[in-house]
Amino acid sequence: MMDDDVLEGEVFMNTVLRIMGIIAIITSIVVGVSTKSFFGCLFWVTGGACIAVILFALDIIIDNQKHISELLQQQSVHTKKLRTAYKTCPKCGYEHEETRKSCPKCGHRERNLTMENKLGS
Ligand SMILES: [Zn+2]
């Protein structure tokens, strides 16, 4: 739920940055043309283009960060899955790592289980 909010906020930021970049270009061209001098026009258009480039760069940086955070999330989910490879002890019901050969609570061993099953059946 919180992740969704963050994602929506980032998408909103990207849109705002793009719109601001376009507005910066349009404004600089309009103001530049209205100065009616070549250098004035050049100055305003260059300034507007610089602002637009910065805004678009920020937009790309946010996009990249979003991508990186998505990758990190996937990685952490993957790591969690690896770490939470648990199995339940058939004797006492205690959950322990699958890599353990015996239960850390009651010391029940996997080998004993098959033997008990054989005896029980
Ligand atoms: Zn146990």
Q: How many A from CA of 61 to the centre of ligand 1?
A: 51
Q: How many A from CA of 88 to the centre of ligand 1?
A: 8
pLDDT tens column, 65-95: 989 999 999 988 888 776 667 888 889 999 8
Buried b (16+ CB within 10 A) or exposed e, 47-82: ebeebbeebbebbeeeeeebeeeeeeeeeeeeeeee
The domain segmentation of the chain, as residue ranges, is 2-84, 86-121
DSSP 89: -
Q: Can you give the pTM of this predicted structure?
A: 0.54
pLDDT bracket for residue 113 (50, 70, 90):
very low
Q: Give SS3 for 61.
A: helix
The answer to which of 3-7, 61-65, 80-84, 116-120 has the lowest mean pLDDT is 116-120
Residue 33 structure tokens: 């043309």
Q: How many A from CA of 77 to the centre of ligand 1?
A: 28
